[in-house]
């Protein structure tokens, strides 16, 4: 029995919600899951119990839920479809990177393996989507390499934007307008806890100041010296 859209969405939400606790015992609280999916808490409980029945998750009542190996693979494949579709919509269909998320959210559940393979081939087996998010392989494996954000990277060093971890259209448009998209080279000049802000030197040494919440959503890596002229 192939998983419904709903099941795929639950698995994806758990998969994506796993960036918040130490290794090993990482369990997603039910409340967080319900909130992520926009359903009532009771609904999530019912659904998660069903998912546990079919072996896709491990459920610890009152504690939370975690993906099983099978569930994790399935979730990765959903994400693979999502991200390939996003990249396809931007590169081939010419849509804006701020408008492809919702479309992909729908299509990810209804595109055949055959078509996804065609898309992957047509795009040259890409490794990241337009937001810099890694695209899992057809086997469900992902190359996760840890990286800093604008909140954690060293001050006064040139870094390259690798990833923008917020899919909201207004935020993405802000990023685009300020030349903070993946690939751009920038530098963090200063951070100030009190004013909750981060000062940046961007393209053409243009200065800008953004809030810490926003800064935490921009991932960067040290600009590789070998990549410059």
Partner DNA sequence: GACCAAATTTTGAATGTCCAAAATTAAAGC
Partner DNA sequence: GCTTTAATTTTGGACATTCAAAATTTGGTC
Binding site for a second copy (CB under 8 A): 89, 92-95, 99, 102-103, 106-107, 109-112, 114-115, 118-119, 122
When CB distances are held under 5 to 8 angstroms depending on the partner's kind, the choice from a second copy, DNA, none that residue 31 binds is DNA
**Residues of this chain that bind DNA (CB under 7 A):** 4-7, 29-32, 37-50, 59, 61-62, 64
Output 53 or 196, the one with its CB closest to DNA.
Answer: 53
When CB distances are held under 5 to 8 angstroms depending on the partner's kind, the choice from a second copy, DNA, none that residue 110 binds is a second copy
Within 10 Å of residue 92's Cβ, how many Cβ atoms? 11
- Which is it for strands 218-222 and 158-164: parallel, antiparallel or unpaired? antiparallel
Output 38 or 170, the one with its CB closest to DNA.
Answer: 38
Output 112 or 177, the one with its CB closest to a second copy.
Answer: 112
Output 16 or 95, the one with its CB closest to a second copy.
Answer: 95
CB of residue 198 vs a second copy: minimum separation in angstroms? 34
When CB distances are held under 5 to 8 angstroms depending on the partner's kind, the choice from DNA, a second copy, none that residue 195 binds is none
When CB distances are held under 5 to 8 angstroms depending on the partner's kind, the choice from a second copy, DNA, none that residue 102 binds is a second copy
When CB distances are held under 5 to 8 angstroms depending on the partner's kind, the choice from DNA, a second copy, none that residue 206 binds is none
Is the CA virtual torsion 95, 144, 138, 3 positive or negative?
negative
Output 110 or 228, the one with its CB closest to a second copy.
Answer: 110
Nearest to 74 by CA among 146, 124, 15: 15
When CB distances are held under 5 to 8 angstroms depending on the partner's kind, the choice from a second copy, DNA, none that residue 30 binds is DNA
For tokens 């000062």, name the residue. Answer: 199
Tokens of 67: 């993906």
Rounded to 10 deg, the angle between the 5-16 and 30-37 helix axes is: 120
CB of residue 78 vs DNA: minimum separation in angstroms? 14
Output 110 or 207, the one with its CB closest to a second copy.
Answer: 110
Which residue pairs, CB below 8 angstroms and at least 24 apart, start in 192-201? 198/150, 198/151, 200/150
């Amino acid at each position: 029995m192939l998983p419904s859209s709903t099941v795929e969405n639950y698995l994806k939400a758990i998969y994506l919600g796993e960036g918040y606790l130490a290794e090993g015992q990482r369990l997603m609280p039910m409340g967080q899951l319900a909130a992520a999916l926009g359903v009532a808490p009771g609904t999530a409980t019912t659904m998660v119990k069903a998912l546990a029945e079919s072996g896709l998750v491990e459920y610890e009542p009152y504690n939370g839920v975690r993906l099983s190996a099978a569930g994790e693979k399935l979730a990765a494949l959903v994400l693979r479809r999502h991200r390939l579709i996003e990249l396809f919509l931007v590169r081939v269909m010419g849509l804006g990177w701020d408008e492809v998320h919702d479309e992909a959210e729908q299509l990810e559940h209804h595109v055949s393996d055959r078509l996804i393979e065609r898309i992957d081939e047509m795009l040259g087996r890409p490794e990241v989507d337009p937001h810099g998010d890694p695209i899992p392989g057809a086997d469900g494996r992902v190359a996760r390499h840890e990286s800093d954000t604008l909140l954690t990277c060293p001050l006064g060093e040139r870094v390259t934007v690798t990833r923008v971890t917020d899919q909201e259209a207004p935020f993405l448009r802000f990023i685009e307008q300020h030349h903070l998209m993946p690939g751009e080279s920038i530098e963090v000049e200063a951070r100030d806890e009190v004013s909750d802000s981060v000062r940046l030197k961007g393209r053409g040494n243009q200065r800008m100041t953004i809030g810490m919440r926003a800064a935490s959503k921009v991932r960067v890596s040290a600009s590789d010296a070998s990549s410059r002229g």
